[in-house]
Amino acid sequence: MINANYNKLIALNEKIIDTSHPIVMAIINITPDSFFENSRSNSEESILKSAQYAIDNGASILDIGGYSTRPGADAVTEEEEIERISFALNTIRSRFPNIPISIDTFRGNVARVAVKEFGVSMINDVSGFEWDENMLDAIIELQVPYILMHSKGNPQTMQSLTRYDDFLSDILQYFAKKIAILREKGFNKEIIIDPGFGFAKTVEQNYTLLRELDLFECFRSPILVGVSRKSMIYKPLNIDPTEALNGTSVLNTLAIERGANILRVHDVKEASEAIRLYNLLGIKNNENHISTTRNYVG
């Protein structure tokens, strides 16, 4: 049996965040081609406006990214990514010096700049340290909490890589192996599990993942869910990302019910409201949430 009553504290610089009650991570994209246009922030004014809105509406963490990793996204040089995130981080730190920030990058050198020069307190890596040979060394060197996400291929190829020997077993074994590597290399900070909705997964596979989200409690780590306005919502409904807020709120609520500790979202206010209403049920997130162990991990 899996009992999810375990420590879900994350130390982000001077702040300790308790994710046993779900929290919100706000997406701030410093890119011209993020799949959801309204999430793009490219000027000082728009960056500050986005950060202020997120903080005012309940975001515990800001997630800053300078490279769109949506399926089919154009490649960006390391130099350009560093330039983008440096501009954004300098802008945010000038107004909000203490807000916890996560850097959304798969590159080790970008992570180093963000953590060492701007005090970023978390690395959000969609690649599982596979797309850049420098990333694993950077993770070990920097020793800040790390979001480990499942994916395959790269943004240009991932949607052609949706075949698995055993879908859930393959993903669970991926995390088991990656976590073992990190611990063996000396990484001693918190690892957050992100199942990687939309990354090398069909719409049907995404819903399997959501339905079985509690499986990932076996790693005894906080679980991050990022379904915000993704194709698993807008494709079945025959709409586009601008119309996918209602569906996002529905799936965020279902994710909380199934054990999500962090919601990574474009729409902070609505996600915060979903959490507040869920909490009115009087159920502590994952409290006494027990599921039958499946034979997925070989």
Three-state SS annotation for 105-124: CCCHHHHHHHHHHHCCCEEE
At residue 288, the pLDDT reads 41
**Residue type, position 128, single letter:** G
Give pTM, 2 decimals.
0.90
Identify the DSSP state of 194: E
Within-domain flag for 8 = no
For residue 295, being part of any structural domain is answered with no
Q: Is residue 240 part of a domain?
A: yes
Q: Is 28 exposed, middle or buried (0-12, 13-18, 19+ CB in 10 A)?
A: buried
Q: What is the mean pLDDT for each group of 10 consecutive residues in the chain (298 residues)?
A: 67 94 95 54 86 97 89 83 96 96 98 98 97 97 98 86 96 98 98 97 97 97 97 97 97 97 98 96 55 43
Q: What's the token pair of residue 244? A: 């996918």
Query: Residues 189, 264, 284, 294: which is the catalytic one?
Result: 264
Of 213, 211, 225, nearest to 274 by C-alpha is: 225
**Distance (Å, rounded) from C-alpha 192 to C-alpha 261?**
9
Residues 272, 155: Cα–Cα separation, whole Å: 29
In DSSP terms, 9 is beta-bridged to 18
Residue 168 within a domain: yes
User: In total, how many domains does the chain have?
Assistant: 1
Q: Of 163, 230, 276, 294, which residue is the catalytic one? A: 230
What pLDDT is stored for residue 5 in this prediction? Answer: 60
- Amino acid making up residue 228: S
230 is a catalytic site residue: yes
Could you tell me the CATH number of the domain that includes residue 278? 3.20.20.20
Tell me the angle at which helices 268-279 and 44-56 cross, rounded to the nearest 10 degrees: 10
Residue 275 forms part of a structural domain: yes
**Predicted pLDDT at 135:** 98
Residue 84 annotated as catalytic: no
Question: Is residue 196 a part of any domain in this protein?
Answer: yes
CA 226 → CA 45, 69, 95, distances in Å? Answer: 26, 13, 27
Look at residue 154 in the predicted model and tell me its pLDDT: 84
Q: What whole-number distance in Å separates Cα of residue 225 and Cα of residue 230?
A: 12
- What b/e sequence results for 74-101 when a residue is b if at least 16 CB atoms lie within 10 Å of its CB, and e otherwise? eebebeebbebbbbbbebbbeebeebbb
Q: Does residue 248 form part of some domain?
A: yes
Domain span at residue 104 reads 13-283
CB 22 within 8 A of CB 223: no
Does 110 reside within a domain? yes
